[in-house]
């Protein structure tokens, strides 16, 4: 993990191996539907549920699709193409905060995850990320792309910077209970001291 605290004040993460992607239990899908969310799969549903429950957006990446085993947070140069998890393609503005692996952009930080590292049927190992983002940078990109998400709305107002570990623990607990698996790393908690 390589980050720049000026654009990504905190990067909290963990790797979970041997998860089983599938349908969420009825109690989880029912709660998501009641708050206007569309259930997708157990991992995505858990990240969305915990975001609404604790107020910290979480994203899950398919570890096997991260090339070079590197996640590098940086600003876009401008003009790069990015395809979001929902299959929509965007031309990124200069200064958008992104995550790149060894080959490509895998996340539009604070707004949308990338289709190229989405957790889908067949995903076995995930990287969970609970970040703290700079409100002004997320707002600028969101407005430039006319792209708003629940996560971007939270980050634009300023997320609970002290809540990343609690959100990560809650999501991990639900994932191990619902999707199985086991922890495959320590908690990475990169932040400016």
What does the DSSP 8-state code read for residue 184?
Answer: -
pLDDT recorded at residue 80: 98
Question: Other CB atoms closer than 10 Å to residue 91's CB: what's the count?
Answer: 12
Mean residue pLDDT across the chain: 97
pLDDT recorded at residue 37: 95
Non-local (6+) Cβ contacts of 24 within 8 A are 32, 39, 41, 42, 45, 46, 178
| Whether 113 contacts 88, CB under 8 Å | no
Cα–Cα distances (Å) from 101 to 11, 76, 105, in that order, read: 15, 13, 7
**CA dihedral of 25, 28, 34, 36, whole degrees rounded to 10:** -100
pLDDT recorded at residue 191: 94
pLDDT recorded at residue 136: 96
Using DSSP, state whether 106 is helix, strand or coil: strand
CA atoms within 13 A on the CB side of 104: 13
Q: 163, 174, 175: which is closest to 57 by C-alpha?
A: 163
pLDDT recorded at residue 109: 97
Q: If the chain, 193 residues long, is cut into consecutive pieces of 10 residues, what is the mean pLDDT of each piece?
A: 95 98 98 96 98 97 97 98 96 98 97 97 97 97 95 94 97 98 97 83
Residue-wise pLDDT for 124-151, tens only, equals: 999 999 999 999 999 999 999 999 999 9
Using DSSP, state whether 97 is helix, strand or coil: strand
Non-local (6+) Cβ contacts of 190 within 8 A are 1, 3, 10, 11, 12
């Amino acid at each position: 993990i390589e980050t720049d605290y000026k654009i990504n004040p905190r990067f909290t993460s963990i790797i979970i191996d041997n998860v089983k992607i599938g349908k969420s239990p009825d109690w989880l899908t029912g709660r998501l539907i009641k708050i206007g969310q569309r259930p997708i799969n157990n991992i995505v549903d858990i990240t969305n549920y915990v975001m609404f429950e604790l107020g910290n957006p979480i994203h899950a990446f398919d570890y096997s699709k991260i090339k070079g085993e590197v996640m590098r947070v940086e600003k876009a140069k401008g003009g790069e193409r990015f395809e979001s998890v929902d299959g929509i393609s965007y031309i990124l503005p200069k200064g958008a905060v992104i995550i790149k692996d060894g080959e490509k952009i895998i996340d539009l930080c604070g707004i949308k995850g990338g289709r190229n590292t989405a957790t889908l049927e067949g995903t076995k190992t995930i990287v969970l990320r609970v970040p703290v983002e700079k409100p002004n940078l997320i707002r600028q990109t969101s407005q430039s792309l006319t792209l708003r998400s629940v996560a971007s709305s939270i980050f634009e107002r300023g997320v609970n910077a002290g809540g990343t570990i609690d959100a990560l623990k809650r999501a991990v607990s639900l994932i191990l209970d619902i999707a199985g698996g086991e922890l495959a790393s320590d908690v990475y908690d990169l932040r400016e001291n």
